[in-house]
Chains A and B, each alone.
Chain A
Amino acid sequence: MNKRIAPYYWMTVPAVILFFVFMTLPALQGIYYSFTNYNGFGKEYDFVGFKNYFNLFQDDNVGNAYWFTFKFAIVVTILTNILSLLIALGLNAKIKFRNFFRGIYFLPNILSVLIVGYIFNYLFSNVFPIWGQNLGINALSTNILGSESLAWIGIVIVAVWQSVALNTILYLAGLQTIPTTLYEASNLDGAGKWREFWSITFPLIAPFFTINMVLAMKNSLMVFDQIVALTNGGPGRATQSISHLIYTGGFEGGEYAYQSANSVIYFIVIAVISILQIRFLQRREMDL
């Protein structure tokens, strides 16, 4: 073996083995169980063929969870990207205490989602309603997490608050790659700030836009911790995401096999969405 190639094998082979043992194998096991009626424990189970998959499409709780998750993911992806791009532009400008602000804006990403969730939970139930009452705003004077129609907004707020941090850093990195000479040239040509953004900045950070959209979408499609900490899927099932449904149904409800089938379908859905997103957005990059 070529001496120069050897280190690459040393690095990839263990990684492949680890990936197979901890990711691929459990996934295959999950697919296997999705064709049984296994309850997650106990020693006996039977093969039931496609019965679980058939039942999934009859179950409106599953439909409800998909609807909530997609609505949530789209709103979070859009808001996160708008806000983080704005913040990144601000942090890239020549302002005082620039590094200090960069650190502050990154903080939410370091904190644990669960802890952030519990803090916001307290704020939503005990602090914001009192503000709402004092200001005389009716919609704010009760806990929005307790309302079937508004609870999802509370989760969006927390999710965006936290995910903006990572996306801001990625956009900042993108902004650093743009050579300043381009701006100098556009300045000489008399371009305004707005024109500068659409014609130089945005096209040049297109690859970062792609990766941010895909990451934000994937993360919010898999939303779980925020929901556990804020509403636990409630009120009723109003904020039950797909991963939360898989967890509660599979482990608490003792329907391991049924929810395995759900997660197989969900895996396919997420993979398809991510691939489509990347293809669509990358084609846009090339056009420019």
Chain B
Amino acid sequence: MMAVLLSSCTSGDSANGKVQIEFFQNKPEAKTTFDELIKTFNAEHDDIQVTQVNPPDAETVLKTRVVKNDIPDIMAMGATDTYSILAQSDIFTNLTDSSLLQTIDPNYIQMLKDLTGMDEVTGIPYATNANGIMYNKTLFKEMGLDVPKTWDELIATAQKIKDAGEIPFYFTYKDDWQTSLPFNALASNLVGIDFYQERRDNKVTFKEKYREVAEKQLELMKYGHGDNFGKAYSDGNRAFANGEAFMYIQGTWAISEIRKANPNIEIGFFPFPTGNDASKIKLVNGIDSLFTIAADTPNREQAETFIAFLLKPENIGRYIDEQTLFSAVEDVKQDDPAVQELMPYIEQGKVIDFPDHYIPAAVQLNSIVQSFLQNQNIDNYLDTLDKEWDKVANRR
């Protein structure tokens, strides 16, 4: 209801002789960066005026606007289930042959095709993020700890920290989406993404394949703090910034928030060591934002001009610097010291997409995982995943 009210501000055409382009994006963290980029763009173009719209809970607002057929000219969002459903509803322009895709890393374009199951490309991957384990370099040095490369090393490191009376992991499981971070790392490496295609065809079940994922996620819970389900994401960023914990299972998107709380913190980041063969571990690396153009916008050309501007190396470079993300445009490098340990994985393509992007939103994975971590019943959990998946599939 709130979302409907918020969405009632719409873009009109040419109040001052310029073509008005509405740029709708879903990342509150990126608002200021986009504002600056848009300012430069508007100054360079006499005939186009871009306006940014960034409401809270943007994905839901966007869906309600689509219902009203009030679709923004350009939409930026993550490559999630929402993008997938909207793409399948044909509300985006088909960009398969667009020149905008020329500089984009083909791996990410393939990722979009896998996600939607369509041959057309309707989104232009822009920035990507990674999910792994963040650690406090200063604390690691003080205790003489090495960065763990395998699952056994990870548990041994956590045990050592716990024995010293400190907090190994800062869990922020009051927010249910936080519980899906270890799920994503474990599921992608231990089971893989192909599982979801087979699950759609009813060839496998979670019960057969996901036991190890569940066991390992449960094992980690032994190394939290006293109130794992009482702290939320923002509490965790603050606590980690203040050095309360050694490690933080998190995405790269949190780095800028943590630095706001403590600009001097020395952050390191390593891929989640899900198994004991270090050479096989892949980094969970998904599309953080992509651009789409409304299928029925009369201003497609102007929208493409704006996207081409954002894709210029200097502009995307600035964006990924300020947001600590990675570029989907080839040959634009992220040099932030915090994420240098992740760069080899991205450069060598040892990456894998977020598994939860392949699970229909109606299944509500996050709350299922959160509930499992509370009652710790693995059989019940795997049954619930299968049951909810089937129920949603039956309702479609």
**Hey, which bits of chain A sit against chain B, CB under 8 A?**
37, 39-43, 51-52, 55, 58-59, 124-126, 129, 141-148, 231-238, 240, 247-249, 251-255, 258
Given B174, B371, B396, which contacts A125 in the complex, CB threshold below 8 Å? B174
What residue of chain B has the Cβ atom nearest to residue A224's Cβ? B1
Interface-facing stretch out of B8-16, B27-35, B358-366:
B358-366
Q: Contacts A235-B370, A236-B371 given; indicate if A146 touches B364 (C-beta within 8 A).
A: no
Alpha-carbon distance A143/B230, docked complex (angstroms): 5
Task: Name, among A143, A238, A248, the residue most crowded by chain B CB atoms within 10 Å (CB to CB).
Answer: A143
Let me know if B67 is at the binding interface, CB within 8 A: yes
Instruction: Name the residue among A42, A124, A147, A240 with the largest chain B CB count within 10 angstroms.
Output: A42
Would A146 and B174 be within 8 Å (CB), given that A58-B391, A59-B391 are in contact?
Answer: yes
- Shortest Cβ distance from A238 into B: residue: B371
A40 touching B371 by the CB < 8 A rule? Answer: no
Pairwise interchain contact A55-B364, C-beta atoms closer than 8 A: no
CB pair B362–A236 under 8 Å, yes or no, is no
Contact B66 A236 (CB under 8 A): no
Which single member of B63, B90, B372 contacts A254 (CB below 8 Å)? Answer: B63
- Number of A-B contacts defined by CB within 8 Å: 120
CA distance A234 to B360 in the complex (A): 19
Measured between beta carbons, the chain A residues less than 8 angstroms from B227 are 129, 141-143, 146
**What residues on B are CB-neighbors of A51 within 8 Å?**
395
Q: How far is the CA of A36 from the CA of B59 in the complex (A)?
A: 23
- A251 and B91 form a contact (CB under 8 A): no
Give 5 CB contacts A-B under 8 Å. A41-B91, A42-B88, A125-B231, A143-B229, A235-B374
Which residue of chain A has its CB nearest to the CB of B371? A236
Which residue in chain B gives the minimum CB-CB distance to A248?
B364
- Contact yes or no, A233 B367, CB < 8 A: yes
Taking the closest CB of chain A, its distance from the CB of B48, in whole angstroms, is 27
User: What residues of A have a CB within 8 angstroms of the CB of B85 in the complex?
Assistant: 39, 41-42, 254
B356 interfacial contact with A, CB 8 Å: no
Nearest-CB distance from B276 to chain A (Å)? 31
Q: Which residue of B lies closest to A37 (CB)?
A: B396
| Chain A residue with the shortest CB-CB distance to B387 | A60
Instruction: Tell me whether B176 and A235 are in contact (CB under 8 A).
Output: yes
Contacts of B395 in A (CB 8 A): 37, 51-52, 55, 255, 258
Taken together as a complex, chains A and B put the C-alpha atoms of A147 and B43 apart, in Å, by: 53
Separation of A234 and B179 alpha carbons in the complex (Å): 12
Q: What mask results when residues 221 to 238 of chain B are scored 1 for a CB within 8 Å of chain A, else 0?
A: 000001111111001000
**Which 3 A-B pairs give the minimum distances between C-beta atoms?**
A236-B371, A143-B230, A146-B229
Interface residues on chain B, number (Cβ under 8 Å): 45
- Which residues on B sit within 8 Å (CB–CB) of A141? 226-227
Contacts of A231 in B (CB 8 A): 174
| Closest Cβ–Cβ distance, residue B60 to chain A (whole Å) | 5
Contact of A236 among B1, B63, B370 (CB under 8 A): B370
B89 at the interface (CB under 8 A from A): yes
Interface centre among A142, A146, A232, A255, by most chain B C-beta atoms within 10 angstroms, is A146
Contacts A233-B367, A254-B85, A255-B395 aside, 16 further interface pairs with beta carbons under 8 A come to A39-B85, A40-B67, A41-B91, A42-B90, A125-B231, A142-B227, A143-B230, A144-B230, A145-B174, A146-B229, A148-B375, A231-B174, A232-B176, A235-B371, A235-B374, A236-B176
Shortest distance between the CB of B196 and any CB in chain A (Å): 17
Contacts of B60 in A (CB 8 A): 251-252
A236 touches B86 (CB 8 A): no
- Once A42-B89, A145-B174, A251-B63 are accepted as A-B contacts, the answer to whether A125 and B367 lie under 8 Å apart by CB is no
Residues 213-254 of chain B, each 1 if its beta carbon lies under 8 Å from chain A, else 0: 000000000000011111110010000000000000000000
Closest approach, in angstroms, between the C-beta of B79 and any C-beta of chain A? Answer: 16
Chain A residues near B66 (CB, 8 Å)?
40-42
Whether the pair A147, B367 counts as a contact (CB closer than 8 A) is no
Tell me the bound Cα distance from A52 to B59 in angstroms: 25
How far is the CB of B174 from the nearest CB of chain A, in Å? 5
Q: From residue 260 to 303 of chain B, which have CB atoms closer than 8 A to chain A?
A: none
Asked if residues A41 and B361 are in contact (CB atoms below 8 Å), the reply is no
Q: Is the CB of A253 within 8 A of B391?
A: no
Judged by a CB distance under 8 angstroms, whether B394 is at the interface is yes
Q: How far is the CB of B56 from the nearest CB of chain A, in Å?
A: 11
A143 to B174, CA, bound (A): 9
Interface status of B173 (Cβ within 8 A of chain A): yes
Q: Is the CB of B371 within 8 A of A237?
A: yes
Interface residues of B in 69-117 (CB under 8 A from A): 81-82, 85-86, 88-91
> In the complex, what residues of B have CB within 8 A of residue A129's CB?
227, 230
Using Cβ atoms and an 8 Å threshold, which residues of chain B touch A146? 173-174, 227-231
Q: Among the listed A148, A232, A251, which residue makes an inter-chain contact with B64, where contact means beta carbons less than 8 Å apart?
A: A251
Among B60, B82, B364, B392, residue most surrounded by chain A Cβ atoms (within 10 Å): B364
Q: In the complex, which residues of chain A have a beta carbon less than 8 angstroms from the beta carbon of B391? A: 55, 58-59
The answer to whether B368 and A236 have CB atoms under 8 Å apart is yes
- CB-defined contacts of A144 to chain B, threshold 8 Å: 230
In Å, the complex CA distance between A125 and B173 comes to: 12
> Could you say which residues of chain B place their CB within 8 Å of the CB of A252?
59-60, 361
* Chain A residue nearest to B238 in the complex (CB): A126
A46 to chain B, nearest CB (A): 11
A279 to B231, CA, bound (A): 46
Asked whether B3 is an interface residue with its Cβ less than 8 Å from the other chain, the reply is yes
